[in-house]
Amino acid sequence: MTDLEDLPIRDDLRGRAPYGAPQKAVPVALNVNENTHPIPESVAHDIVARVAAAILHLNRYPDREFTELRRAFAAYLGHGLDERGIWAANGSNEVLQHVLQAFGGPGRTALGFAPTYSMYGLLSAGTGTEWIGAPRDDDFELSPETAVAAVLEHDPDLVILCAPNNPTGTPLSIETITAVADAARGIVVVDEAYHEFADPGTPSALTLLEGRPRLVVSRTMSKAFAFAGARVGYLAADPAVVDALRLVRLPYHLSALTQAAALGALAHSDEMLAMVDEIRGQRERIVDELARLGFRPYRSGANFVLFGGVDDPHAVFEALLERGILIRDIGLPGCLRVTAGTETETTAFLEAIAAFAPAPAAPSHAE
């Protein structure tokens, strides 16, 4: 059998590993930040009906410009947007790939703040873009001063800000986003994949789009919309950015079935997002209970919690897996990450993780 290294792949791809997260059939899967709440049955029936209607016309190509879907996304986002400033693709990863294809490439650089979403580096590598991972502040926070200093030091062609950040869950202030957007000469992408889980009243980078033609705000239907299996991501930007993305997309890249399903979900956005408050509540429950047990949960504005204080993350990961609970070992020393699931799933995780709580500190004795 031929080995990968025997093939004439690009030199800059040699030695790299593809994106990977454990895929295991377990009773409680809380490792990839999915929305574990199912789609409401009434909504599912409408989506099925729309997809069935689309099947009757699969002999024809879909709308290449997916105009109706772009209008629906604009209506959902608000902020005075219309379809001219909306783009969509098969998951937000493909949206980001389009951005890197259009504005990155050989001789160009993309800047992010590590640790952050691992796909940014992989997508950069796939497009021949040099990836730069600048450091964060303590506790994975990112201040305007730290972010702008990195932008001025590296002068990147693209900056990717994850708000809130994956895998740490750290919220990103609108002040930091504004400072980066005003300091960078290139494209600034704000990845708001988890924005719907942020605390109520948290401003979106969408509020900054007007007057900033190089600012891009990316979203996904995978998380809050419980639509991970449908693979639908989208962005809002100046219409000129959308025109640039047309230059690199494949023809008819969004199938008629994908468009129909997404339109069905958006038509019921209130029902689809009804579980967000409950998920946010389970996130806070996880934070409170982990802290009570002696772990160190980090600040999160997403549907997951990163927590420290784990003596042997890999051993704890394996022990939980043996109990049918799958969480994520992301490689940060002393840390594990868990998705906020249903109340039952959260209870199962909290009861299991209690067995690995850090030993309480010895009491001090006054002289």
Same domain flag for 103 and 230: yes
Q: Is the pLDDT of residue 366 over 70?
A: no
Could you identify the residue written with the tokens 């993305």? 245
Same domain flag for 227 and 321: no
Range of the domain at 122: 41-270
pLDDT at 360: 64
Same domain flag for 303 and 205: no
Residues 28-81: tens digit of each pLDDT: 999 999 999 989 999 999 999 999 999 999 999 999 999 999 999 999 999 999
Render 168-179 in DSSP notation, one character per residue. T-----HHHHHH
Residue 20 gets the label, from left (phi > 0), alpha (psi -120 to 50) or beta, of beta
Q: Is the pLDDT of residue 278 over 50?
A: yes
Same domain flag for 337 and 325: yes
55-90 burial, b if ≥16 CB within 10 A, otherwise e?
eeeeeeebeeebeebbbbbbebbeeebebebbbbbb
Q: Is the pLDDT of residue 367 over 50?
A: no
The model carries a pTM of 0.93
Q: Note whether residue 256 is domain-resident.
A: yes
Residues 303-337: tens digit of each pLDDT: 999 999 999 999 999 999 999 999 999 999 999 99
Q: Note whether residue 309 is domain-resident.
A: yes
- Least confident stretch, 15-29, 69-83, 143-157, 253-267: 15-29
Q: What is the CATH number of the domain that holds 29?
A: 3.90.1150.10
Residues 177-195: tens digit of each pLDDT: 999 999 999 999 999 999 9
Q: What is the CATH number of the domain that holds 232?
A: 3.40.640.10
Q: Is the pLDDT of residue 256 over 80?
A: yes
Same domain flag for 223 and 342: no
